């Protein structure tokens, strides 16, 4: 019989499905809940157990992981008579891996403590590919003892796992991550349009750029998206728009100026307003092409 903790997984989207499946592969007993029947069937086919409600999923769990789109969804699954806090056992560890506001994480930890439930905020970076390959970067906020307990589980999901400080710290670092990624994608998109309009072989140019100081994980991961104009969502513009709102609000609260970040936040919002919110964030290239007179 496995001595690993029993896991409840709430949210089986682009990230949640492969992450929960990696826990199953690592030997964890995983019971999942999400709103889409096909995602529940996928988890069951991978060796997990499907639950018909949040309450059913978390009732016997030692560890509960949430991976949902934003703060409202975290609050929806955490609070209320059918939520996590009312149905999880005392002593359970709740790990929220969603990308939400730092304050939401702080508030959740306080509310959970009253129920005897421990909380870590543990958002991730690496996109769908990182989730599938179990090479995510995981930035964690919460108590050291809880982090130490969760470390083996995190190691089944990612490669870079760091406790960043108390509750909310993981979300603050994730907000900074999303700022860097968005600005990087925008710079790559502008370079792509500049190179193509200059008549340069784009594939050759991106190869050599990737080997120099301009190289980045963003360029390596998104190069094929740019070359093929393949914007199948690995991380949707809709979600990056949400994250840019988080980082600009949080920066305002602490008095940090984000002049370039504010511009990129508006470009992300503009792309979303043009109907491209469901595309991968590499579709920022489409916005640059439109500004440059291309028909896309």
- DSSP annotation of 26: T
* Three-class HEC string of 124-137: EECHHHHHHHCCEE
CB-count burial class (<10 Å; 0-12, 13-18, 19+) for 23: buried
The half-sphere exposure of 36 on its side-chain side, counting CA atoms within 13 A, is: 11
Burial label, 38 (beta-carbon count in 10 A; 0-12, 13-18, 19+): exposed
Looking at 39, 174, 222, 242, which residue is catalytic?
174
Report pLDDT for 234.
Answer: 87
* Residue 12 shares a structural domain with residue 71: yes
296 lies in a domain? no
Is the residue at 12 inside a domain? yes
User: Is residue 174 flagged as an active site residue?
Assistant: yes
Domain boundary among 148, 166, 184: 166
Domain assignment present for residue 54? The answer is: yes
Q: Can you give the CATH number for the domain in which 42 is found? A: 3.40.50.720
Q: Are residues 151 and 200 in the same domain?
A: no
Residue 155 is predicted with a pLDDT of: 98
Q: The CATH number of the domain where 265 resides is what?
A: 1.10.1040.10
64's enclosing H/E stretch is: strand 63-66
Length of the chain: 296
Between CA 118 and CA 94 the distance in angstroms is 6
| Coil, helix or strand at residue 66 | strand
Which position has the token pair 């421990």? 118
8 beta partners: 31, 64
Instruction: Clarify whether residues 63 and 202 are in a common domain.
Output: no
Whether residue 190 is found in the same domain as residue 135: no
Domain count, the chain: 2
Nearest-angstrom CA–CA distance, 238 and 257: 24
Does a structural domain hold residue 2?
Answer: no
Taking a C-beta distance cutoff of 8 angstroms, is the pair 240, 276 a contact? no
Q: Compute φ and ψ for 83, nearest 5 degrees.
A: -90, 180
| The predicted structure's pLDDT at residue 294 | 82
Among residues 134, 166, 198, the one where a domain terminates is 166
What is the spatial distance between Cα 19 and Cα 65, in angstroms, rounded to a whole number?
10
Same domain, 179 and 117: no
Q: Is residue 27 part of a domain?
A: yes
248 in a structural domain: yes
Identify the domain containing residue 17 by its residue range: 7-166
What gap in Å lies between CA 115 and CA 280, rounded to an integer? 39
Which of 145, 166, 187 terminates a domain? The answer is 166
C-alpha to C-alpha distance for 287 and 275, rounded to whole angstroms? 11
**Among 60, 26, 20, CA closest to 40:** 20
Q: Scanning the structure block, which residue is given the tokens 């969603």?
A: 98
The reply to whether 93 and 205 lie within a common domain is no
Tens digit of pLDDT per residue, the chain (296 long)? 568 999 999 999 999 999 999 999 999 999 999 999 999 999 999 999 999 999 999 999 999 999 999 999 999 999 999 999 999 999 999 999 999 999 999 999 999 999 999 999 999 999 899 999 999 999 999 999 999 999 999 999 999 999 999 999 999 999 999 999 999 999 999 999 999 999 999 999 999 999 999 999 999 999 999 999 999 998 999 999 999 999 999 999 999 999 999 999 999 999 999 999 999 999 999 999 999 998 76
Same domain membership, residue 116 and residue 202: no
């Amino acid at each position: 019989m496995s001595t690993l903790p029993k896991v409840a997984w709430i949210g089986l989207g682009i990230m949640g499905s492969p992450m929960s499946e990696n826990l199953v592969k690592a030997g964890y007993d995983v019971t999942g809940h999400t709103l889409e029947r096909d995602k529940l069937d996928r988890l069951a086919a991978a060796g997990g157990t499907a639950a018909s409600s949040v309450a059913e999923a978390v009732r016997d769990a030692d560890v509960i992981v949430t991976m949902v789109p934003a703060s409202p969804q975290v609050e929806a699954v955490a609070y209320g008579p059918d939520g996590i806090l009312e149905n999880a056992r005392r002593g359970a560890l709740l790990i929220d891996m969603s990308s939400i506001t730092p304050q939401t994480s702080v508030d959740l930890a306080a509310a959970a403590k009253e129920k005897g439930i421990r909380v870590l905020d543990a958002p991730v970076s690496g996109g769908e590919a990182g989730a599938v390959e179990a090479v995510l970067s995981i930035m964690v906020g919460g108590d050291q003892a809880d982090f130490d307990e969760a470390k083996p589980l995190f190691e089944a999901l990612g490669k870079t796992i760091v406790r960043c400080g108390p509750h909310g710290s993981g979300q603050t670092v994730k907000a900074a991550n999303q700022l860097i990624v968005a600005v990087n994608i925008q710079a790559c998109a502008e370079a792509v349009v500049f190179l193509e309009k200059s008549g340069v072989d784009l594939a050759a140019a991106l190869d050599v750029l990737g080997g120099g100081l301009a190289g980045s994980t963003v360029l390596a991961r998104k190069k094929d998206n740019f070359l093929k104009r393949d914007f199948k969502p690995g991380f949707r513009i809709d979600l990056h728009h949400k994250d840019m709102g988080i980082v600009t609000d949080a920066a305002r609260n602490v008095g940090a100026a984000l002049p370039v970040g504010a511009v990129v936040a508006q470009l992300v919002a503009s792309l979303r307003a043009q109907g491209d919110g469901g595309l991968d964030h590499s579709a920022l290239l489409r916005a640059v092409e439109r500004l440059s007179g291309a028909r896309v």
